[in-house]
């Protein structure tokens, strides 16, 4: 959850699992893991900016990482 998005985006399987979660919880909001800013942003950082729905989103992101073998 503290790994930079850019690192997560380098693994196609992991990034696909994460983008599926984002599409469910934040439809229509693009998440670009290859953007220069992604090197300094983690999943935990994103969660800090999402009020209310963060617990469900966090659980689904953790599950996606676990499924992809990247739990951290």
48-69: pLDDT as tens digits: 988 877 899 999 999 999 988 8
Contact 21, 50 (CB under 8 A): no
Number of structural domains (the chain) is: 1
Host domain of residue 60: 5-70
Tokens of 40: 């300094």
Instruction: Give the pLDDT confidence of 5-50 residue by residue, as tens digits.
Output: 999 999 999 999 999 999 999 999 999 999 999 999 999 999 998 8
Contact 65, 14 (CB under 8 A): yes
């Amino acid at each position: 959850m503290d790994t930079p998005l850019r690192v997560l985006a380098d693994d196609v399987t992991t990034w696909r699992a994460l983008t599926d979660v984002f599409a469910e919880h934040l439809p229509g909001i693009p998440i670009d893991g290859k953007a220069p800013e992604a090197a300094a942003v983690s999943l935990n950082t994103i969660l800090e900016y999402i009020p209310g729905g963060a617990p469900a989103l966090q659980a689904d992101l953790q599950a996606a990482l676990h499924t992809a073998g990247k739990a951290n």
